[in-house]
Amino acid sequence: MSYYVIFNGVDSRELNLHIEMLPAKVSPQQRYTTTAVSGRHGVLTETDGTFEPYTQSVEFTALDLSKLDKICSVFKGISWLTLSDELHRKYKARVANAIEFSQIIRLWRRFIVQFEVQPFGYETQPQNFIATNNSKIFNYGTYESEPKITVYGTGDITLNINGKGIILKGITDKVVIDSEMQNAYNGAVLMNQNMNGEFPIFKVGENSNLNDNEYLTIARHEIKIDLEGIISAAAYLLDNKGRFAIVHRPDRMIDILNIMQKYDIEPKRIRFVYPKMNRDSHVLLVEGMYKGKKGLKIEPPLYAHNDDGSYSNEVRRMFGEKIDE
């Protein structure tokens, strides 16, 4: 069997390079941090879900020394790497060592290229999908992916993926959402400031712009009634000074406040809920009073979990536990 690699868009066979054997497959290692906690056995081990790059070394034999210039120019820098035993996949890789003429000649035309490989592979011929409302997209890989999504339209657009909402403001033609690069743009113009919400992730298997749970779909995506319908109905039912409370996504805060005031429900209290410290808020609590006086209070944040994943003391008190501070 003839082995080869493709790097910087060049097939190693074009350089008359012989490969005796390709490197073994490597499973990337997840990144961990450990912290010693006073009064606790062992250490606290945490991961942010990211993976380390890894090194793969390929040994070549140069069959044609007249191509040395080309060889040295190809195997440098950062580019896509494809191995002949995995032609359907490419990897982002960097040549980690320098290749020199003298090295190739001195070592009987043999030399080693060390590739620092990023942990995830990409399809060499990725499929493009056109998605409309209620569409489903499948991730056939073995790990969640960070997609690149182009959204076409004008004005303010709400995009829902797997139950998470993204609001795009002031779109004039289209916007590209690049989850890997954590950027939204149209051509050379960055549009991160026009985007409200987290960059989407495609889980393994089926992904959709609605929730799998029918009741969550109705509750979160305004299937049966929209936000204005809920607030207007509340205003119709409330007596003077009656209170209205809503739990929603933080990216809808401006809409909620504006619609409440439109129907004479004056916002009185707002509180942001966070999954844990140093994370983005994922839940918004708003309370208003029908025909109430102006005066809004922003309450301290509510953190649902501690760094180790356990419930915070405030949440435990909500569950009825007695907590000694």
pLDDT digits (tens, 9 = 90+) for 95-126: 999 877 776 666 678 899 999 999 988 888 77
Structure confidence at residue 175 (pLDDT): 93
Domain 5-123 has CATH 2.40.30.200: yes
Predicted confidence band of residue 32 (pLDDT cuts 50, 70, 90) = confident
Question: Whose structure tokens read 């109905």?
Answer: 233
DSSP 66: G
Structure confidence at residue 96 (pLDDT): 94
pLDDT at 132 over 80: no
The overall pTM is greater than 0.85:
no
Which positions ≥6 away from 83 have C-beta within 8 Å? 3, 5, 22
pLDDT at 127 over 70: no
Hey, which bits of 215-264 come out as E strands? 243-248
Sheet holding 189-190, edge to edge: 148-152, 174-178, 183-186, 189-190
Question: Mean pLDDT, the chain, as a whole number?
Answer: 87
How far apart CA 256 and CA 250 sit, in angstroms, is: 10
Structure confidence at residue 164 (pLDDT): 77
- In contact, 275 and 304? CB cutoff 8 Å: yes
Domain locations in the chain as residue ranges: 5-123, 136-217, 225-318
How far apart CA 64 and CA 132 sit, in angstroms, is: 54
- Helix 227-237 to helix 253-262 angle (10° resolution) is 40
Structure confidence at residue 279 (pLDDT): 86
pLDDT at 48 over 90: no
pLDDT per position as a tens digit, 251-292: 889 999 999 999 999 999 999 999 888 888 989 999 999 999
Class of residue 310 by CB neighbours under 10 A (exposed 0-12, middle 13-18, buried 19+): exposed
Structure confidence at residue 191 (pLDDT): 93
pLDDT at 26 over 90: no
Domain 225-318 has CATH 3.40.50.720: no
Structure confidence at residue 218 (pLDDT): 66
Percent of the chain residues past pLDDT 70, beyond the cut: 90
pLDDT per position as a tens digit, 200-245: 988 888 887 655 555 666 666 666 788 999 999 999 999 999 999 9
Judge whether 5-123 and 225-318 match in fold: no
Q: Which of 169, 200, 164 is nearest to 182 (CA)?
A: 200
Mean pLDDT of 12-28: 93
Radius of gyration, CA atoms only, the chain: 28
Structure confidence at residue 235 (pLDDT): 96
Q: Which of 20-29, 81-90, 123-132, 315-324 has the lowest mean pLDDT?
A: 123-132
pLDDT per position as a tens digit, 290-323: 999 999 999 999 999 888 878 899 998 888 888 7
